[in-house]
Amino acid sequence: MFDYVALSGTTEDRVIEYVDHLRQHFVDPVRIGDGHYLAPTEPGFSAAMHRAAIDTYRYPDGAFWAADLAAATTKEHG
């Protein structure tokens, strides 16, 4: 979207990466229409994440990383 709006003004010969598997983490997930990103309907970049996702995946102290560290430590010592 940034490329189209601020740089090139075209979608010709452009490719995007669509990460649908991450949509559950975002308050207002990305929407695709006719093969193009759709502009957000609310102000901002649609980058706001749910608090639970932030708490889980925040590096290095989120629950995901703590569990990963615990598993690695157990593997080293056991």
Same domain, 74 and 52: yes
- pTM comes to 0.66
pLDDT band at 64 (very low <50, low <70, confident <90, very high): very high
Specify the residue for token string 């452009």: 14
pLDDT in tens, 44-55: 878 899 999 999
Same domain, 58 and 75: yes
Task: Give kind and range of the element (H or E) at residue 66.
Answer: helix 63-77
Question: What's the domain count of the chain?
Answer: 2
pLDDT of residue 78: 63
Same domain, 27 and 9: yes
Same domain, 54 and 35: no
pLDDT in tens, 9-43: 998 998 877 778 899 999 988 888 888 888 888 88
Same domain, 39 and 69: no
pLDDT of residue 36: 80
Burial code of 18-29, b = ≥16 C-beta within 10 A, e = fewer?
eeeeeeeeeeee
Domain that holds residue 52: 48-78
CA distances from 41 to 21, 26, 28, 35, 46 (A): 21, 14, 9, 18, 9
Same domain, 20 and 32: yes
pLDDT of residue 58: 94
